Structures are given as structure tokens and as C-alpha cells.
């Protein structure tokens, strides 16, 4: 029985009115925050969040911004209560600031501020805001210290500190903070957050005055229980089972060094357990995350995959248990550095959670359409640092990568340059505004050919940018932080291939791009840039950005869904005509034959013949699969009896595998070959082919793979699972040969197929 989200104290209409007032408050807080700050990373990329919590910190509502930053507010409030309740006290009109990642913050540049809301003599709620500051001090501008070996190397770290007392800003604390920060404009980031919290507090007090504090209390608590009830109901309609997914960080912050993150999902009844046992140990560099970042990643993934039609709050936390050993790369402990966590361990883990939940959704005839391949699974921290046009010091963030490729779905392509998945309001900075504010000029910013993961439904394309210095009054340098150059982390589903990996290139002595040249800004291809092309190392700083240097980078595309040889050839033709897929990849990966002349046309007969040949070649190369790390379903799941009224007729899901519960078989929908029992992992009935990831298409790590192999690293591979009858690709896993890989065991007895 579904839980009743309403209380006897309040009628449904009033509940909805007050509830939507709360959502409006969080959005207004964000607007005031960003307009006060003016920071390009906030106004241009919405790298911030706002929220309302219960008195104990439980998240009630978040603004339409970065979900991971909202999910940390509970831990921040909890830290304030534990550390500051007695001294200096929590009183009306106070506010607190904290960016300590070991107390809940995602990383030090994402600074959080929270304010208690008192009404009628009692603490009724908290409001909070979190956002990425332009600078937090330390030895490296911009918040990322590539050489960090401890948190002490990473700049300003604030425990819960009272920054507003009785509605008066403590200017001594402001001065103390700003004395550690090299970018004066960061003070506007701080004051913008204080404005946001003041607005949020005032609006909540207005609601309490209008409807009464008890009604406000009830609406907030029932809003959380409503989300929990809806999620539990949805979980009960999904199959019980285990699903394991593995992802990789290919850089520890100091060097190319592949480390795995393992997540095993157990779904039983109306509850999820996500266990990160098997993940590698914390590293010396700054690619780790503390538990607060792990929690934010898990809850964001659950909300995205299962709460797509719900308000995102801590109702999701009531349905989820997180298990993780200590001191892993996703549970780093003090004083391990973590300042790159948001663009490494956190976002990679979030997409890992999204994919493992999507595999669960694919097993459901009711919910399989909600499954998505991975979106762009890493992010970047790119800054140009130096002297601006007016002679002042500047940190210029480059945030075009917020236009990332979205994962394909079971029925449609991923959105091209659709955004990063944690940002509910996609946005990127304007080129014109960036060029106006900083001594930079863009040669291009555009969608990247062949960046979307190949599949029956293509992953969303990512983008690429090329930038030159322009009118700087002094030296400039580049800082480039991130992961995902060796590893195409945006994995596909159901046989879809991963999207493009990260690439950082530098073109030196490109004299034709002198600021006086008329050709400046008219570059069409990388080859037209000229000069000496070099591959830039990730997680490097203080790289000279001279007058005739071009800085280029691209970011990850979305993963594909289904076998690329099943894609409608007409869609491939359209992709080639619009520049999203090259003619070479159309032939090699999609098996589509085109005639290229004054126009590009489709050869239908040639395409069918070529695709048949490609499937034949797959089976000739493939070998039997032996799973050296199988999952075993716990007795607590296998012992369950089917619910009354459960149908056991044939169910076809994701149009790839047919499940016949009546005879407990799984078979290929293309050729009818029986692959095994209905509860087994489809991989066990397949033959496999394993190839280096760098060979599956352009921009899949080939610029970095050779050097990594020479240094003794084991190359990342793509393991394709083919139907032994027809050669259709049913799965494509990202693996390190010999290591544990993705797997699943499904118990279908209790699944309601209605």
C-alpha cells in the first residue's frame, strides 16, 4: 500500500500551495545569489545550489541548480549543530559558513553557507546556499592544486564559522577569509550567498506568518515522506536482484594511474543498498572524495534515475543504504587531498550509480524506458590565470564543458551538448561575455564530430573549444584539471558504445593566428591551426599561454544505447550531413554505406550487405566468455515467493532480449537464440571480443594510451558481448583486463508486469 503523503492537519490544496512556495523560494534564492555575485561560473554555468532543510538538516527542497551541492546541506547543518550549538550558539539572525570536505562539503571551492530560521521562539528550518568560488587561496589559483599531497596544500578550509551574528555581517571574518584569497571578486561570491540566505529566511518567515508555523512544519515533513513513499512504491514494482558496475579514474592528480570504483546494487522490496566494497584505496593526489561527496553522488543518481517526476529531497535517503569501506577513493579520510573530487570521483560515481540503476530499470517491462546510458561522466577545471587587459590579476574559468553530451535512452538519442547531469538547469557561459571580461579570444566552440557513443540510439555529442590570448597586459598561464582522457567513461547500455574521452591539445608557434591576422577566428579544422601540435597533460598548471599559442580541449560525449548496427541508416545519414558523425565512422561502426559527391546519399542495399559482413566478422573474432567474478544472489532474495496476481507471460524489454517467465528463458530477439535462464546475466550466454578502448573510434583515449602502456599501465578495454547466433552486440563493458567487471543476477518472481 502506498504511503499517504498528506497529513490530517492539512488539506491537499493547501499542501500544494505551500509546497510550491517552498520550491519558488529556493529558486529565488539562487537568482539573488547569482545576480549579486556576477561570477561567470555562477551566472554562466549555474555551478551552485540552494536549499531548505528541517531543523535537523534533512533536505526538504533544492533549487533547480547543481544537485550534489544541495545534497551536502544536510551534513553541513549537522556539523553546525554538533560543533556550534553550545559555543558560540545558534540564534535568530545568525549564519554560518563551511567548506570543509570532511564535514560535508563536496570540495573546498564549493563553499556552503547556512542560516537558521526561527519563528515563534523555535528553530523551524534552515536555508542554505553552496557555490563554486573563483578562488580559495592556496598555492594554485582557481582552487585546484595539482601537487597537493594533503588537504593542507589545497587552500582555505573553513570549519563551521559564524559569519553573520544577529543579522550583522561579521566583517572581521570576511576580512580573514579574503586575506587568504587572491581573487577580490570572490568576496561577491560570499556576499551573494549571504543575500540568498537572507531572502530565503525572510520568505520562509512570510509563509509561517501566513499559514502558521505548524502548517509549515507539517508541509516540510510531509514533502519528504511523500517522496519517500512514491520511491518505495516504485521500487516495489521493480525486480529484486543484484547489479554490479565498475568505473575508472584514470588520473590520481599526479600521474596517469587507473583506479577503479565498484558499486554493487542490491534491490530488495522497497529498499536499495549500494555497496562500494572493492573500490581502490584512496590516492596521494587530489582525485579522491570524502564521504559527503559519495553520499551526494549516490542520492543525486537515485533522484535522477528513479525520482524523475518528484521533488528531489531526503525522501530518497530514506530508501537507500550506502555501504563503503573506509579510506577508499570514494571515502577518503583526513587529511587526504580531495579538491578535484567534483570533477573526478564524485561525477564518475554519480554516473556509475545512474548506470547500475538503469540496468535495474532495463529488467522491468514497466520502467525500462526510464533507463539511460551514462552522460558525460567526468568534468573539467580549466582556468587561464594572469594579467587582464586593465593590468589587474585575473582567474578566467573556462566552463564550456557544461554543454556535455547526454546519455542515449532506450527509445531516443541522447541530447547533443545537453548539459552535465547534475545540473537541472543547463547553461554555459556566453562567449561574448567571456571575451569581454577576460583577455581571451575563441577560435571556435562547437559540437564535436564522432563524440556521441555509437548505438541504435546515439549518445549526445559533446563539444570542443579553441582559445588564444588576446590583449593581455602581462603573462598568462593555463591550469587544466580533470580525468577521463585515457578512459571513455560515458559507457553505453544494451550494447551501446561509450562516448568520446577528454582531450587537451596545445598548438605552439601558430604564427598565422597573430591578433593582427585577418584569419583569426576563422579556423575550421585542427589541421588549419598550424604550428606544433602537442598533447597536453591533464592536471597540470602554470603552463605558459603565449601570444601564438592555441589551447584546445574537448570533453566527453554521452554513451549509446543498443547495437550501432541496428541504427536506422537514415538517422546515420542525417548525422553525417549535420557533422555529428563522420563518413568513416558511419561505415566502420554503424555499417552504413554512403555515396559522397555533391551530396551525401544512402546506399541501402550496400548497407545491409556490409552490416551482415560486420556481424559475421564479429563472430569469427569472438571467444567464449568465462566470468571469473560472478555475482551470487543472496538467499534472502531467492527465497521470496511471487506476489499474488503476478503475470508470468512473455515480456519483451529493451527490444533486444526476450524474457519468457513461463519457461524461464532469455533469448535474442533478433535471431531467437536462447541465451540462458531468465534470471541470469545476459553476458553468460554470449561470446566476447575484447579490444583496447582507444581502437573503438576516434577520440577514445588514443592520444594518451601509448604513453600509458609504455609506462607499464594496463590499457583500458572494451569487452563486447555478442549473441552467438547472429552477432548482435548485447553489452559493451569498460574493463581493465583481469579485473572485476559489470555483472547482474535478477530475481523475477516478484515482478508485477502490469
**What string of DSSP letters covers 265-286?**
EEEETTEEEEE-TTPPBP-SST
The rounded distance, in Å, linking the Cα atoms of 352 and 9 is: 41
Q: Which of 52-61, 163-172, 389-398, 561-570 has the lowest mean pLDDT?
A: 389-398
Q: Return mean pLDDT, the chain.
A: 92
**What string of DSSP letters covers 655-673?**
TTEEEETTTTEEEETTT--
The number of residues in the chain equals: 754
Reported as half-sphere exposure (CB side, CA atoms, 13 A), residue 199 has a value of 23
Q: Which of 132-141, 490-499, 585-594 has the lowest mean pLDDT?
A: 132-141
Cβ-in-10-Å burial (0-12, 13-18, 19+) of 705 comes to buried
At residue 653, does pLDDT exceed 70? no
The rounded distance, in Å, linking the Cα atoms of 531 and 708 is: 25
What is the average per-residue pLDDT within 712-721?
93
Band (113; pLDDT cuts 50, 70, 90): very high
pLDDT at 239: 87
Band (511; pLDDT cuts 50, 70, 90): low
At residue 5, does pLDDT exceed 50? no
What is the average per-residue pLDDT within 139-158?
91
Give me the helices (H) in 44-84, please: 67-71, 73-84
| pLDDT tens, residue by residue, 122-131 | 999 999 999 9
Cα dihedral sign, 323-327-333-337: negative
Q: Is beta strand 122-132 parallel, antiparallel or unpaired with respect to 161-165?
A: unpaired
At residue 747, does pLDDT exceed 80? no
pTM of the model: 0.94
Q: Which of 313-322, 413-422, 666-675, 736-745 has the lowest mean pLDDT?
A: 736-745
Band (646; pLDDT cuts 50, 70, 90): very low
Band (252; pLDDT cuts 50, 70, 90): very high
pLDDT at 656: 77
Q: Which residues 6+ apart lie within 8 Å of 443 measured at CB?
A: 466, 467, 468, 513, 520, 521, 523, 529, 550
What is the average per-residue pLDDT within 258-277?
96
Domain segments of the chain: what residues? 12-228, 372-562, 566-620, 635-747
What secondary structure letter does DSSP report for 405? Answer: P
Give me the helices (H) in 313-471, please: 345-362, 431-437
* H helix or E strand, kind and range, residue 16: helix 12-37
What is the average per-residue pLDDT within 695-715?
92
pLDDT at 630: 81
Q: Is 187 helix (H, G, I), strand (E, B) or coil?
A: helix
Amino acid at each position: 500500500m502506498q504511503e499517504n503523503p498528506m497529513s490530517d492537519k492539512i488539506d491537499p490544496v493547501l499542501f500544494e500551495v505551500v509546497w510550491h512556495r517552498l520550491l519558488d523560494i529556493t529558486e529565488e534564492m539562487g537568482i539573488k545569489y547569482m545576480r549579486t555575485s556576477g561570477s561567470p561560473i555562477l551566472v554562466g554555468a549555474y555551478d551552485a545550489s540552494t536549499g531548505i532543510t528541517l531543523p535537523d538538516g534533512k533536505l526538504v527542497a533544492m533549487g533547480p541548480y547543481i544537485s550534489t551541492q544541495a545534497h551536502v546541506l544536510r551534513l553541513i547543518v549537522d556539523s553546525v549543530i554538533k560543533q556550534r550549538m553550545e559555543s558560540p550558539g545558534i540564534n535568530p539572525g545568525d549564519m554560518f559558513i563551511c567548506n570543509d570536505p570532511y564535514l560535508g562539503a563536496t570540495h573546498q571551492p564549493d563553499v556552503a553557507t547556512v542560516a537558521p530560521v526561527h519563528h515563534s521562539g523555535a528553530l523551524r528550518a534552515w536555508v542554505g546556499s553552496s557555490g563554486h568560488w573563483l578562488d580559495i587561496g592556496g598555492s594554485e589559483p582557481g582552487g585546484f592544486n595539482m601537487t597537493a599531497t594533503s588537504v593542507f596544500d589545497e587552500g582555505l578550509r573553513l570549519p563551521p564559522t559564524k559569519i553573520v551574528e544577529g543579522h550583522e555581517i561579521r566583517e572581521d571574518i570576511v576580512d580573514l577569509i579574503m586575506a587568504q584569497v587572491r581573487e577580490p571578486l570572490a568576496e561577491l561570491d560570499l556576499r551573494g550567498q549571504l543575500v540568498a540566505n537572507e531572502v530565503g529566511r525572510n520568505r520562509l518567515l512570510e509563509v509561517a506568518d501566513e499559514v502558521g508555523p505548524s502548517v509549515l512544519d507539517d508541509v516540510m515533513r510531509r514533502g519528504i515522506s511523500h517522496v519517500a513513499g512514491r520511491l518505495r512504491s516504485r521500487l516495489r514494482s521493480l525486480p529484486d536482484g543484484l547489479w554490479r558496475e565498475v568505473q575508472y579514474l584514470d588520473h590520481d592528480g599526479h600521474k596517469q594511474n587507473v583506479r577503479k570504483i565498484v558499486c554493487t546494487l542490491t534491490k530488495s522490496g522497497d529498499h536499495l543498498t549500494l555497496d562500494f566494497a572493492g573500490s581502490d584505496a584512496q590516492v596521494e593526489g587530489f582525485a579522491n572524495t570524502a564521504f559527503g561527496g559519495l553520499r551526494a553522488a549516490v542520492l543525486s543518481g537515485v533522484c535522477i534515475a528513479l525520482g524523475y517526476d518528484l521533488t528531489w529531497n531526503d525522501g530518497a535517503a530514506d530508501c537507500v543504504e550506502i555501504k563503503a569501506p573506509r579510506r577508499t577513493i570514494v571515502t577518503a579520510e583526513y587529511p587526504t587531498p580531495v579538491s578535484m573530487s567534483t570533477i573526478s570521483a564524485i561525477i564518475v560515481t554519480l554516473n556509475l550509480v545512474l548506470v547500475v540503476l538503469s540496468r535495474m530499470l532495463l529488467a522491468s517491462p514497466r520502467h525500462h524506458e526510464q533507463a539511460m546510458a551514462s552522460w558525460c561522466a567526468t568534468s573539467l577545471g580549466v582556468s587561464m590565470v594572469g594579467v587582464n587587459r586593465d593590468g589587474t590579476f585575473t582567474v578566467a574559468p573556462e566552463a564550456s564543458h557544461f554543454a556535455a553530451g547526454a546519455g542515449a535512452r532506450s527509445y531516443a538519442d541522447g541530447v547533443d551538448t545537453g548539459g552535465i547531469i547534475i545540473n537541472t538547469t543547463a547553461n554555459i557561459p556566453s562567449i561574448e561575455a567571456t571575451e569581454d571580461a577576460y583577455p581571451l579570444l575563441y577560435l571556435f566552440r562547437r559540437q564535436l564530430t564522432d563524440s556521441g557513443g555509437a548505438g541504435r540510439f546515439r549518445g549526445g555529442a559533446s563539444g570542443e573549444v579553441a582559445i588564444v590570448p588576446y590583449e593581455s597586459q602581462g603573462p598568462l598561464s593555463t591550469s587544466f584539471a580533470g580525468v577521463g582522457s585515457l578512459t571513455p567513461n560515458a559507457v553505453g547500455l544494451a550494447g551501446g558504445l561509450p562516448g568520446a574521452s577528454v582531450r587537451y591539445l596545445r598548438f605552439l608557434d601558430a604564427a598565422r593566428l597573430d591578433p593582427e591576422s585577418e584569419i583569426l577566428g576563422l579556423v575550421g579544422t585542427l589541421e588549419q591551426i598550424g604550428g606544433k601540435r602537442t598533447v597536453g597533460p591533464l592536471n597540470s598548471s602554470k603552463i605558459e599561454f603565449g601570444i601564438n599559442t592555441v589551447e584546445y580541449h574537448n570533453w566527453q560525449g554521452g554513451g549509446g544505447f543498443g547495437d550501432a548496427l541496428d541504427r536506422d541508416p537514415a538517422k546515420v545519414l542525417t548525422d553525417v550531413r549535420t557533422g555529428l558523425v563522420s563518413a568513416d565512422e558511419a561505415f566502420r561502426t554503424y555499417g552504413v554505406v554512403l555515396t559522397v559527391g555533391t551530396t551525401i546519399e544512402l546506399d541501402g542495399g550496400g548497407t545491409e550487405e556490409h552490416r551482415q559482413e560486420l556481424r559475421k566478422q564479429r563472430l569469427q573474432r569472438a571467444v567464449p566468455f568465462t566470468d571469473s567474478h560472478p555475482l551470487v544472489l543472496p538467499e534472502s532474495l531467492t527465497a521470496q515467493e511471487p506476489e499474488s496476481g503476478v503475470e508470468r507471460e512473455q515480456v519483451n524489454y529493451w527490444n533486444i532480449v526476450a524474457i519468457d517467465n513461463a519457461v524461464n528463458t532469455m533469448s535474442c530477439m533478433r535471431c531467437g537464440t536462447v541465451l540462458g535462464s531468465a534470471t541470469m546475466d545476459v553476458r553468460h550466454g554470449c561470446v566476447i571480443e575484447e579490444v583496447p578502448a582507444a581502437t573503438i573510434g576516434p577520440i577514445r583515449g588514443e592520444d594518451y594510451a601509448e604513453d600509458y602502456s609504455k609506462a607499464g599501465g594496463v590499457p583500458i578495454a572494451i569487452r563486447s558481448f555478442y549473441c552467438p547466433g547472429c552477432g548482435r552486440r548485447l553489452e559493451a563493458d569498460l574493463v581493465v583486463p583481469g579485473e572485476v567487471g559489470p555483472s547482474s543476477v535478477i530475481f523475477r518472481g516478484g515482478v508485477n508486469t502490469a
